[in-house]
Amino acid sequence: MGKRLGTILRRTLGNCDRLVHFSLAVLLAALPVLLGRLPAVWAGTPAVKLSLTTPAVALRQPLRIRLPEGCALDSHKGVILTQEGDPLRLSAVLASGPDKTGECQQMSYLIVRDDRSASATLAADGLLRWIVQEEGGTAGESPTASEFQFKETSDTTVTLYEGELPVLAYNFGPITNPKVPEKDPRRTRACYVHPVWGLDGEILTDDFPRDHYHHHGIFWTWPHVVVGQEEFSLWEDRGALRQRFVRWLCQETRPGVAVLGVENGWDLHGQIVLTERVWFTVYARGKEDRVIDVDLFLQPHVPITLWGAEGKSYGGLTMRFRPPSEKEARITVPDGLTKDDLYETRLPWADFTSRFGETDRLSGATIMIAPTHPDYPPTWLTRHYGPLCVGWPGVHSRTLEPPEIVHLPYRLWIHRGSRNAEEMAAVYKAYTAGFECQLVERPVPQEDSQ
């Protein structure tokens, strides 16, 4: 076959004696030319369509979905979602995010948040089907400027702003509180988020509170960590094991979304025994809320055993709030408003609402567990004086063995006012519906690709 094609090409090119060898790849690429038809990609028409199928409820909250492997969209152009026969067009954007190991994958996620989805046409099976495509425009031309910006506000802290308003601060370097006694190992801490601001500038989180010096905004530590024959507490910094900043994975701002990725190491006498990669995907504020996705990846380099506090289960993702008093705090779970603290209770979500600072207005935040979370739903500890603690793996130990990588995904929903359990459940339903979405490449019918 190759010899025959070579003969045809030599005749086509005037029997040039210098044309002696053709690689198989060149010959196969030339075949469509010889047959009088250009490949679709050469003609400027995509050979595949990117198709998104979503439950209708999924688009009531920000939707983040990974692009298929090998899918290439121009990140400098806008992205639109259309339905066949319907003039409705939804705006979307590409953003970076974690791959399956927690490493940075550039422009690998499709982000959709568009309130107009409520008027979309449902298919007979109750789903929404969209064609995803680049918006017209010149390659390299950014669609819109981002409202977000990262600022290094100290030698140890990077703060994210939306416009002029701060959103959250990540403390990558060691923060020392001089009010903590010098010999207390909890005097210095790094690798956590504080402050987290509400929609009206109120600070929701606490740091080094007098009742628990080891509570720090949003943090992820365990009271029991066994490496080799030694046991440590990252929760209270007992022993030599410490979290250390290693490198930034991503600081990206896109229209309607900001992405922060960081890699830390669990340092034991100068050896990194576990790598943690932490991601925060922050969406533009809505009228009454803000959404932040949190992804935690744990990659052990030696066998490490973790478990939570006996009888309480805390150990893992924790958010320490700062209410004026315990009496003013309101904790809501799927069963409704709780009067008592909960211990070792399995929950898909929990909310903490109170006044914060000097304002008389109520606000709060809900921690939501992704349905793909290990041991879903995990156990929790909820305390009215301030913390919401997700307990994973809980009171029963779990040994992480290399090359295993554990992914712990969450969503934080920050809101104005007091919300009831039904409203929170509706938001959670929209969040979990996002995991049912399918984004796939479908071949274009031959007659459409010519």
Does 32 have pLDDT greater than 90?
no
Instruction: Give the DSSP H/E element, type plus range, for residue 6.
Output: helix 2-12
What domains appear along the chain, each with residue ranges and CATH number? 2-34 (no CATH), 48-143+437-449 (no CATH), 148-419 (2.70.98)
Burial zone of 138 (CB within 10 Å; 0-12 exposed, 13-18 middle, 19+ buried) = exposed
Amino acid at 191: C
pLDDT per position as a tens digit, 133-160: 998 654 444 557 889 999 999 999 999 9
Q: Give the whole-angstrom CA distance, residue 333 versus residue 127.
A: 29
Does 380 have pLDDT greater than 70?
yes
* Averaged pLDDT for residues 23-50: 46
Asked if residues 169 and 153 have their Cβ atoms less than 8 Å apart, the reply is yes
The pTM score is 0.88
The torsion angle over the Cα atoms of residues 350, 431, 101 and 399, rounded to 10 degrees, is 30
Q: Which parts of 13-94 fold into alpha helices (H)?
A: 24-34
Q: Give the whole-angstrom CA distance, residue 353 versus residue 385.
A: 11
Q: Residue 139's pLDDT is what?
A: 46
Q: Residue 137's pLDDT is what?
A: 55
* CA dihedral sign of residues 363, 316, 233, 152: negative
pLDDT per position as a tens digit, 260-299: 999 999 999 999 999 999 999 999 999 999 999 999 999 9
pLDDT per position as a tens digit, 56-103: 999 999 999 999 998 878 888 889 999 977 888 999 999 999 999 999
* Averaged pLDDT for residues 376-383: 98
Q: Residue 342's pLDDT is what?
A: 98
Eight-state DSSP code of residue 449? H
pLDDT per position as a tens digit, 185-227: 999 999 999 999 999 999 999 999 999 999 999 999 999 999 9
- Cβ-Cβ contacts under 8 Å for 392 (sequence gap 6 or more): 308, 315, 316, 317, 373, 374, 375, 378, 379, 408
- DSSP per residue, 81-123: EEETTEEEEEEEEEEEEE-TTS-EEEEEEEEE--GGGGGPPPP
Does 373 have pLDDT greater than 80?
yes
- Cβ-Cβ contacts under 8 Å for 229 (sequence gap 6 or more): none
Q: Residue 447's pLDDT is what?
A: 54
Q: Residue 126's pLDDT is what?
A: 87
Q: Residue 143's pLDDT is what?
A: 56
Mean pLDDT rounded to a whole number for the chain: 89
pLDDT band at 1 (very low <50, low <70, confident <90, very high): very low
Does 14 have pLDDT greater than 70?
no
pLDDT band at 19 (very low <50, low <70, confident <90, very high): very low
